[in-house]
């Protein structure tokens, strides 16, 4: 379907597709098998300027929006969802600085992220805090001109590889959600270290580690926005980033559909290609329809946000919820269409199915997305009386 | 450094077809790409430009649609591009092509280094690079796999040979042709692609290059294509192992068996 992309969006799509086809697809199986971080591909993405999509031009970026980011993420994810996770997580780590950082913070950190010289990461989850962001235990205490951090963050994408971390801590336990604060921590800060690399079911090219703060001291000007604004910073970040997760889902589902159709056209049973059977055709038709519906939703929400729509929490959650549920279904069906081949590592679809699962879990589980949507509905209809 | 990189538009080798009637390459309906070796030449040039500064100009001789390979080269980071296109250039062999390219490079003077891919994947002659150096009366090194450095007006390179490499220092200005060992071409950038769409690509013909019609194209060519054909497959080959004595004994045995030689 023609979405009438702008010239810049088409350029981004072609560029991301070229990188996916020439660099990512040939190495994705090995990266997955060895659970290897894609250093070379990150260099290619840095060279391509794509790390700077959402970063303003005055800070070395391209000054483009959520839509352009979605177009890039979709194409990279079509190549490998794990690589796309690494790429998108750097954007997620940058969003708190883009949206709420001071002029000095933007000047200091954004050019490095835009050029791809440094990766960023977003650190909220802890063993006691995931869906419940109020469960954050990591503390930051002001001591003279420095904050002293203690605690640990778990399952942090790009942990250990990123140089710049947006970290959410508690500065005032008594205030609950209003006691959370966002801070920038650099990889080289004293008292900051990393735990073991997690062994994951999917997105194995991406790296996930624990962050450990043991009397980690950082200058007090690393605070994002102001003390106590952490919850707001996190929620605004998610509003911007969730369509990107939807775009990852569209990319991996499109890749699974491509493989399924290709296979169905060549696999012969009962002396005909299996695509000639209505049972297979209908599965493919449903897959194609749902991929397109998800893409249309993601693009529509992203464009609405870029056009300056007000409160986007509800639609942003929808743009994560629907595509990621779709991707789980479509990748599973692709494995079904490839049958025995689909279950084998020699073919790429089982990896897509493993990769798709995380999309229903991270950046707010799909249950939390439904909460966001449900609460928004409740508010809307109360107002309407 | 002032660098000139030569690129050629070629049919994508993935779907190449020979016209069964005319015995020539079918170009219609076949996607065109930048000659893959020329992307390595461009990468070599971009690395020198990034290290030493200066300007990288990419040039190509071809029909008007060859402009697309120049725009692609611009998207990778080339500074300027010139298309050499004129009806009179049609049918050029390697000699006439080299003379035309030489006229362009002279017009771009002063230059320090001309870089070409080792050969184009359509003609496969590997002659245009060396012939261009000859036309320009500058030294050249073919099959360069590594550039070691530039010092005192000399470029030091490794020339890949069948059984190793030669280290060669060549005085600039010079020409090199590169092989893929030079390093994987980078990906284009967004800013490069946007710039490439808008940047003017001048077209130079006979007049701009100050050439006469009999120096270029078919008229300026010393050779012409008589026929293109698929070669007959070679016979079965076998490599004999062992020390020279064993190899000789086995060879003689096989020659006798196949009745190639008869000994009294």
Q: Which residues, 6 or more positions from A277, have their beta carbon under 8 angstroms from its beta carbon?
A: none
**CA distances (Å), B175 to each of A71, A337, A363, B105, B205, in order?**
42, 55, 54, 11, 23
Average pLDDT over residues A50-57: 98
Taking contacts as CB-CB distances below 8 angstroms, the residues of chain A near B187 are 15, 18-19, 22-23, 44, 47-48
Average pLDDT over residues A220-238: 95
Average pLDDT over residues B221-233: 81
Contact A49 B186 (CB under 8 A): no
Closest CA to A361 of A300, A320, A304: A320
Mean pLDDT, chain B, integer: 92
Contact B188 A8 (CB under 8 A): no
Residue B211 has a pLDDT of: 95
Q: Tell me how far the alpha carbon of residue B210 is from its chain's centroid.
A: 24
8 Å CB contact between A59 and A110: yes
Taking contacts as CB-CB distances below 8 angstroms, the residues of chain A near B188 are 15, 18, 48
Residue A314 has what DSSP assignment? H
Residue B227 has a pLDDT of: 78
**CA distances (Å), A145 to each of A215, A217, B171, B192, in order?**
14, 10, 59, 44
Contact A44 B186 (CB under 8 A): yes
How far B254 CA sits from the closest chain A CA (Å)?
A: 44
| Residue A351 to residue A24: CA distance in whole angstroms | 14
Residue A77 has a pLDDT of: 98
Residue A233 has a pLDDT of: 96
Closest CA to B60 of B79, B36, B34, B40: B34
Q: pLDDT per residue over A106-148, tens digit each?
A: 999 999 999 999 999 999 999 988 888 778 999 999 999 999 9
Touching check for B194 and chain A: CB below 8 Å?
Answer: yes
Residue B27 has a pLDDT of: 67
Contact B190 A22 (CB under 8 A): no
Q: pLDDT per residue over A328-382, tens digit each?
A: 999 999 999 999 999 999 999 999 999 999 999 999 999 999 999 999 999 999 9
Average pLDDT over residues B76-93: 95
Q: What is the ipTM of this complex?
A: 0.93
The DSSP line for A136-190 is ---EEEEETTEEEEEEEEEEEETTTT-SEEEEEEES-GGGGGGGEEEEEEETTST
| Residue A131 to residue A109: CA distance in whole angstroms | 28
How far B183 CA sits from the closest chain A CA (Å)?
A: 13
Average pLDDT over residues B227-249: 85
Taking contacts as CB-CB distances below 8 angstroms, the residues of chain A near B191 are 49, 62
Closest CA to B86 of B112, B67, B55, B62: B62
Band the pLDDT of A23: cuts 50, 70, 90: very high
Cα distance between the two ends of chain A: 39
Contact B189 A48 (CB under 8 A): yes
Q: Residue B187: which of A8, A11, A19 has the nearest Cβ?
A: A19
8 Å CB contact between B98 and B128: yes
Residue B264 has a pLDDT of: 67
Judged against a pLDDT cut of 70, whether residue B139 lies above it is answered with: yes
Query: Catalytic amino acids of A?
Result: 363
Average pLDDT over residues B115-120: 95
Taking contacts as CB-CB distances below 8 angstroms, the residues of chain A near B193 are 11, 14-15
pTM of the model: 0.89
Place of tokens 């992309």: A5
Residue A385 has a pLDDT of: 67
Q: Give the A-side interface with B, CB within 8 Å.
A: 7-8, 11-12, 14-15, 18-19, 22-23, 44, 47-50, 62
Taking contacts as CB-CB distances below 8 angstroms, the residues of chain B near A15 are 187-190, 193
How far B192 CA sits from the closest chain A CA (Å)?
A: 9
Q: In terms of pLDDT, which residue wins out, B163 or A9?
A: A9
Q: pLDDT per residue over B16-48, tens digit each?
A: 777 766 666 676 777 889 999 999 999 999 999
Chain A's closest residue to B188, CA to CA, is A48
Contact A8 B194 (CB under 8 A): yes
Closest CA to A361 of A73, A117, A155, A170: A155
Band the pLDDT of B229: cuts 50, 70, 90: confident
Lowest mean pLDDT among A45-49, A153-157, B4-8, B256-260: B256-260
The rounded percent of chain A whose pLDDT value lies above 90 is 95
Q: pLDDT per residue over A289-313, tens digit each?
A: 999 999 999 999 999 999 999 889 9
Judged against a pLDDT cut of 80, whether residue B164 lies above it is answered with: yes
3-state secondary structure A179-197: HEEEEEEECCCCCEEEEEE
How far A52 CA sits from the closest chain B CA (Å)?
A: 10
Contact A44 B188 (CB under 8 A): no
Q: How many other CB atoms are found less than 10 A from the CB of residue A113?
A: 27
């Amino acid at each position: 379907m023609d979405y009438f992309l702008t010239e810049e969006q088409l350029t981004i799509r072609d560029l991301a597709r070229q990188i996916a086809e020439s660099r990512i697809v040939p190495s994705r199986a090995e990266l997955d098998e060895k659970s290897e971080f894609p250093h070379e591909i990150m260099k290619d993405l840095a060279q391509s300027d794509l790390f700077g999509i959402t970063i303003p031009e005055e800070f070395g970026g391209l000054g483009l929006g959520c839509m352009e980011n979605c177009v890039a993420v979709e194409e990279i994810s079509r190549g490998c969802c794990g690589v796309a996770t690494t790429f998108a997580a750097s954007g997620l780590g940058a969003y708190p600085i883009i949206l709420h950082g001071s002029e000095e913070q933007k000047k200091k950190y954004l050019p490095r992220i835009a050029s791809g010289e440094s990766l960023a990461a977003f650190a909220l989850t802890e063993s006691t805090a995931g869906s419940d962001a109020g469960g954050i235990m990591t503390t930051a205490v002001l001591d003279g001109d420095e904050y002293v951090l203690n605690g640990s963050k778990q399952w942090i994408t790009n942990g250990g590889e990123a140089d710049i971390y947006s970290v959410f801590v508690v500065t005032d336990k008594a205030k609950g959600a209003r006691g959370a604060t966002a801070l920038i921590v650099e990889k080289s800060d004293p008292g900051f270290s990393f735990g073991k690399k997690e062994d994951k079911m999917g997105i194995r090219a991406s790296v996930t580690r624990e962050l450990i703060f043991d009397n980690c001291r950082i200058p007090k000007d690393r605070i994002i926005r102001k003390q106590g604004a952490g919850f707001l910073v996190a929620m605004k970040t998610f509003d911007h980033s969730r369509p990107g997760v939807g775009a990852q889902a569209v990319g991996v589902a499109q890749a699974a559909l491509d493989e399924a159709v290709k296979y169905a056209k060549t696999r012969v049973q009962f002396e005909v290609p299996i695509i000639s059977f209505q049972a297979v055709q209908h599965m493919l038709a449903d897959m194609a329809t749902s991929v397109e519906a998800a893409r249309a939703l993601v693009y529509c929400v992203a464009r609405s946000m870029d056009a300056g729509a007000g409160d986007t929490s509800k639609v942003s959650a929808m743009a994560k919820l629907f595509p990621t549920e779709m991707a789980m279904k479509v990748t599973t069906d692709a494995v079904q269409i490839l049958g025995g081949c689909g279950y084998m590592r020699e073919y790429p679809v089982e990896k897509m199915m493993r990769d798709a699962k995380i999309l229903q879990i991270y950046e707010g589980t799909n249950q939390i997305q439904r909460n966001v949507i449900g609460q928004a509905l409740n508010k809307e209809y109360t107002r309407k009386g | 450094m002032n660098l000139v990189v030569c690129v050629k538009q070629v049919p994508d080798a993935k779907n190449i077809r020979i016209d069964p009637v005319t015995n020539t390459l079918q170009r219609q309906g076949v996607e065109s790409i930048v000659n893959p070796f020329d992307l390595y030449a461009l990468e070599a040039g971009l690395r020198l430009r990034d290290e030493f500064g200066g300007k990288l100009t990419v040039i190509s001789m071809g029909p008007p649609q060859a402009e697309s390979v120049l725009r692609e080269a611009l998207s990778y980071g080339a500074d300027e591009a010139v298309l050499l296109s004129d009806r009179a250039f049609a049918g050029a062999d390697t000699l006439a092509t080299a003379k035309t390219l030489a006229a362009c490079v002279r017009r771009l003077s002063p230059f320090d280094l001309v870089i070409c891919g080792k050969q184009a994947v359509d003609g496969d002659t590997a002659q245009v690079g060396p012939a261009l150096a000859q036309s320009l009366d500058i030294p050249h090194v073919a099959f360069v796999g590594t550039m070691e450095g530039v010092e005192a007006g000399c470029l030091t390179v490794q020339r890949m040979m069948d059984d190793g490499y030669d280290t060669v220092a060549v005085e600039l200005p010079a020409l090199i042709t590169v092989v893929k060992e030079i390093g994987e071409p980078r990906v284009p950038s967004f800013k490069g692609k946007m710039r490439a769409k808008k940047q003017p690509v001048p077209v130079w013909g006979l007049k701009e290059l100050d050439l006469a019609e009999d120096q270029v194209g078919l008229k300026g060519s010393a050779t012409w294509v008589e026929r293109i054909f698929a070669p007959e497959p070679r016979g079965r080959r076998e490599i004999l192992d062992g020390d020279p004595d064993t190899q000789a004994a086995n060879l003689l045995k096989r020659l006798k068996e196949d009745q190639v030689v008869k000994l009294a």
